[in-house]
Structure 1
Amino acid sequence: MRIGLLGTGPWATAAHAPALQEHPDLDFTGVWGRRPEAAGELAERHGTRAYADVDALLADVDAVAVALPPSVQADLAVRAARAGCHLLLDKPVATTVGQARAVVDAVRAARVASVVFFTTRFVPGSAAWIDEQAKAGDWFTARAQWLGAVFSDDGHPFATPWRREKGALWDVGPHALSVLLPVLGDVRRVAAAVPGPLDTVQLVLDHEGGASSTLTLSLTAPPAACGAEVELRGASGVTHLPDGSEGAVASLRRAGDALLAAARTGTPHPCDAAFGLRVTEILVEAEHLLSGGADTD
């Protein structure tokens, strides 16, 4: 499968480009970026071509991987789907329901495959644990903490403008939801959303399966306090998400495998654009409550 990369920032450089270059069944065809000089440098580093025109790249490939801010990603994903390209997207798909729904509509209309890269879902040990707990069922409650130090670490490469604007809710919130939803069921409502220190937020979710969950999300945690943790409690006892310590490049290669399989079989992947839309809907509901909006339930 010929695949192009849209984006030249820290995430594209550190994860996407190496994963695409190393994947044995993907032909890393080219790079497009909003900064042509950065696209040229990244393409040269990985032995591929820089494109000045995004539509020219879309015409030359079967798929695209996107490593861009969500609002930019959504519009280009629609454009790529309409050009017949399969989509390897980053989370969140978008930060508005309208944009996320437009991506889903374009994917369905073009009958292309889509995979959204929720990192934990592509780590073998974590993915197996999620499947096992979903089958076990009968969970009473869950607690998730996703704490990073992006904003407490001076000069952190991922302290990008969109993360500074949207904070932990939108950056690490999707990771937590990608674990909780397949285990506890969809979210019936965001029961509470409370701001904490700086960009920290705390959520209480009511799930269709009858369980509740609490989430603590932050990008301004002290470095010594950082980490991701999920605990489930129910009839089966207590269990914790295993440590997923492998790098993003290996996980992205598996996401590439998932895209190839979805394109080949026509069977949607569980982390497709429609799942990305649902995550966006939940986060928009939480954001509404955080901004002082009333619970609409």
Structure 2
Amino acid sequence: MLRFGLFGTGHWAAETHAAALTAHPKAQLAGIWGRDHDKTEALAQRYGVPAFDDVDALIDAADAVAVALPPDIQADIAVQAAIAGKHLLLDKPLALSLPDAERVVSATARAGVASLVFFTNRFHANVAGFLTATAAAGGWYGARATMYASIFEPGNPYGASPWRRERGALWDIGPHALSIIVPVLGRVTQVAALDGPRDTVHLLLAHATGATSTLSLTLNAAPAARAFDFVFYGENGVERVPSGDGTAVQALSLALDQLVEDVDSGARNNLCDVRFGREVVAVLDAAEAARRQSRTVRLPG
């Protein structure tokens, strides 16, 4: 049984992380820490676990940490937990800067702990199966991703998030798009970017395989224009990525299966570990530079 300390008290922490950790047969929710004392107490009481007011104390009380906090706060806690020898269940994006992502990767490697960055769509069983089969088929030379979300409507639990308002779709849902495209087309080597109406960002990516892809992303689509669509083009035709066939809690449960297996086996080769999280941050960072400088940016490596 792997004891998890949960960091965060928002909607995602309460309705996804805490729910999945409580229900998982090989995980135990050891306690909760949050930046708001009252919310921490309320969520801890709801799930029948201790509320912590000290980060170190919760890290010490757990075998692993689950972080559902803004990415800049997540990075510091992840480093702290890794140094203490705790395994990591993190959210996307790994961090809001490449240096912070590098710090997490370095701390994780030095400590030898297991890590997983939760990209929701990658952990729907039918999507994961599709990506494995599609990557194995090969011959893909292009992809198109459209993610037009509309989170600023009344009642949306993510619309007031300061970091989402500041960083927009590129950093919030861009990681989801990359988590689908990169496993099939390979590592991103070049990025060009252009802004559009309603806070849309359009990316043109070159991949190490020679393929190219386009991503169109916004958090501020007109409600009637919301869309979620991924299409691959190749020598054998056209393949559309299926919609996830489960809930976010079920997806996180599958992610927990993989993390627990990595911990038990000692393996450190999870495809969605912090190294992949850093790779995604590198693409997002390059896209920011491409937008700002109106040029194509090459990624190192």
Q: Given the two structures, how large is their TM-score scaled by the length of structure 2?
A: 0.96
CA distance in 2, matches of 1:293, 1:105: 32
How far apart are 1:145 and its partner, in Å? 0.8
Residue deviations 1:178-222, cap 9 Å, x none?
0111100101111x2000113210000001111110000010112
How far apart are 1:245 and its partner, in Å? 4.2
Residue in structure 2 matched with residue 37 of structure 1 by the alignment: 38
How far apart are 1:84 and its partner, in Å? 1.0
How far apart are 1:293 and its partner, in Å? 5.1
What secondary structure does 2:293 align onto? coil
What secondary structure does 1:291 align onto? helix
Kindly report which structure 2 residues correspond to 1:37-186, keeping only aligned pairs within 5 A, or say none.
37-151=38-152, 153-159=153-159, 160-186=161-187
Answer whether contact 2:144 2:230 (CA < 8 A) is retained.
yes
Query: RMSD of the alignment, in Å?
Result: 1.1
Residue in structure 2 matched with residue 262 of structure 1 by the alignment: 262
* Shift in alpha-carbon separation, 1:198–1:291, aligned structure 2, 3 A: farther
CA distance in 1, matches of 2:62, 2:297: 44
Give the letter for the 1:101 counterpart. Answer: E
Residue in structure 1 matched with residue 207 of structure 2 by the alignment: 207
* Shift in alpha-carbon separation, 1:130–1:111, aligned structure 2, 3 A: same
Residue deviations 1:38-74, cap 9 Å, x none?
1110011011111111101111110010000000000
Give the letter for the 1:178 counterpart. Answer: S
Residue in structure 2 matched with residue 14 of structure 1 by the alignment: 15
Give the letter for the 2:132 counterpart. Answer: D
**Does residue 27 of the first structure (1) align with residue 38 of the second (2)?**
no
How far apart are 1:262 and its partner, in Å? 1.2
Give the letter for the 2:163 counterpart. Answer: W
What secondary structure does 2:239 align onto? strand
Instruction: State which drifts further: 242-251 or 122-131.
Output: 242-251
CA distance in 1, matches of 2:123, 2:169: 21
How far apart are 1:296 and its partner, in Å? 4.2
Q: Return 5+ residue gaps in structure 1 as ranges.
A: none
Answer whether contact 2:202 2:215 (CA < 8 A) is retained.
yes
CA distance in 2, matches of 1:73, 1:293: 30
What secondary structure does 2:215 align onto? strand
Answer whether contact 2:4 2:28 (CA < 8 A) is retained.
yes
What secondary structure does 1:72 align onto? helix
CA distance in 2, matches of 1:219, 1:15: 21
Give the letter for the 2:276 counterpart. Answer: F
Instruction: State which drifts further: 285-294 or 89-98.
Output: 285-294
How far apart are 1:85 and its partner, in Å? 0.8
How far apart are 1:295 and its partner, in Å? 3.0
CA distance in 1, matches of 2:97, 2:107: 16
**Does residue 275 of the first structure (1) align with residue 276 of the second (2)?**
yes
Give the letter for the 2:254 counterpart. Answer: R
What secondary structure does 1:2 align onto? strand
Percent of paired sites with the same residue: 48
CA distance in 1, matches of 2:50, 2:11: 19
Answer whether contact 2:59 2:81 (CA < 8 A) is retained.
yes
CA distance in 1, matches of 2:124, 2:225: 22
Give the letter for the 1:201 counterpart. Answer: V
Report how many aligned residue pairs link the two structures: 295
**Does residue 242 of the first structure (1) align with residue 262 of the second (2)?**
no
Answer whether contact 2:193 2:294 (CA < 8 A) is retained.
no
